[in-house]
Amino acid sequence: MPDMETKKKNFTKRKIVKKIVFGLIAALVCALIVFPIIWMIPAAFKTRREIWQLPNTFWPNNFTWDNFSKVLTSSLNGYNFLSSLGYTLLVSVIAVVLSLFVNMLAAYAFATMEFRGKKALWWYFIITMFIPGITILLTSIKVVYFLHMVDTIWVLIIPGVVSAYNIFFFRQFFYGIPVSLEEAATIDGCSRWGIFWRVFFPMSSTPMVIIGVTTFMGYWNSFVWPSLTIVNNTKIAQVMQVIRILNSNYSSNYGIVIAATLMAIAIPILIFAIFQKKIIAGIAISGLK
């Protein structure tokens, strides 16, 4: 049947054309997305004259490390980029550990235990998801002043530790852990605390990576809160806060701002590179955030 044959041929031909077209579209979109980042990398090695030079070139004519050495060694009105990198890393790491611990513990209680007022407490937690940061910004500052937390690393860490969304996320995950495991652990003489620590905790590596990375990113990228609560202790100012200050002071010597930004985005992207499989799979299945 030659008719059938040509039909089949046309079909596979169309399939191949479709594949090539889609591949090209995808490649183009990828190029558009990474272009701004690729464009900035060599700019960090340009001299102050070259950075706004016309016509602009991709590759620097006079390759220099000056921007990096300047941004890492000098300080501006007490703001020091290197020190802020260190403190932002410290704050983010402590926050991730605390946040995972506190939120998982709460999620465990909601997922596996019955107690009076559970429903009311659950709503009390969930409603806080709908409060925009700006609404409670000024009064939160009053609270942290009252607690003498301003200008310490704790003002950066503690107020953001609890997240109703993270509790919700972990609760959903814990629902999927079979009760028989809990029962077995109880028979072996495990307490509720022991079950959490020995059964639930080791089984939660995937959600811990996803929530851990998003929490880290939230702290690493935070800007508004640190700029209003780190006022005098400029040594612990956070990275984005310092980039904003560099941005408004070095518009003529922009290579410094670019070098700082490059270092600041490298860390979360590196973390993404390490955990990309789990993160992409996590979104594909659950629609994270």
Partner 1 sequence: MNSARPLVDNEMFRLDKKRHNRFTYRNQWVAYLMLLPAFALLTIFVVTPLVMALIRSFQDYNTSAFVGLQNFEYIFGTDLFAKSFRNVLVMTAIITVVMIVITFLFALVLKAMNNKFGSFVKIVIFIPFFISGIAASVIFTLLTNYGGGLITSILVSLNKDPVSFTSDEVLAYAAIIIPTLWLGFGYNTLVMYAGLINIPNDYFDAAKIDGASWWQTMVHVTIPSMRNYLVLIIVNLITTSMQMMEIPLIMTEGGPLDETLTPVLYLFNAFRDPSRPANATIAGALVVMVVIMGVNIVVFRLLQSKRSEDA
Q: How far is the CB of 2 from partner 1 (least distance, A)?
A: 26
Of the candidates 17, 23, 181, 201, the residue with the CA atom closest to the CA atom of residue 107: 201
Residue 39 within binding range of partner 1, rule CB under 8 A: yes
Q: Which residues 45-74 are close enough to bind partner 1 by CB under 8 A? A: 51-56
Interacting span for partner 1 (CB under 8 A) from 62-70, 75-83, 87-95, 281-289: 281-289
Distance between CA atoms of residues 57 and 42, nearest Å: 10
Distance between CA atoms of residues 25 and 19, nearest Å: 10
Query: Which of 76, 82, 94, 265 is in the footprint of partner 1 by CB under 8 A?
Result: 265
Helices (H), the chain: 2-43, 48-51, 66-73, 81-112, 118-127, 137-146, 153-157, 164-175, 179-187, 192-195, 201-203, 205-220, 224-229, 239-249, 254-286
Query: Which of 152, 182, 199, 249 is in the footprint of partner 1 by CB under 8 A?
Result: 182
Angle of helix 239-249 versus helix 254-286 axis, rounded to 10: 140
Give 236 or 262: the residue with its C-beta nearer to partner 1: 262
Interacting span for partner 1 (CB under 8 A) from 2-10, 64-72, 89-97, 213-221: 213-221
Give 2 or 117: the residue with its C-beta nearer to partner 1: 117
Q: Which residues 100-159 are close enough to bind partner 1 by CB under 8 A? A: 102-103, 105-106, 108-110, 112-116, 118, 121, 124-125, 128, 130-140, 142-143, 147, 158-159
Query: Which of 48, 70, 235, 244 is in the footprint of partner 1 by CB under 8 A?
Result: 244
What does the DSSP 8-state code read for residue 196?
I
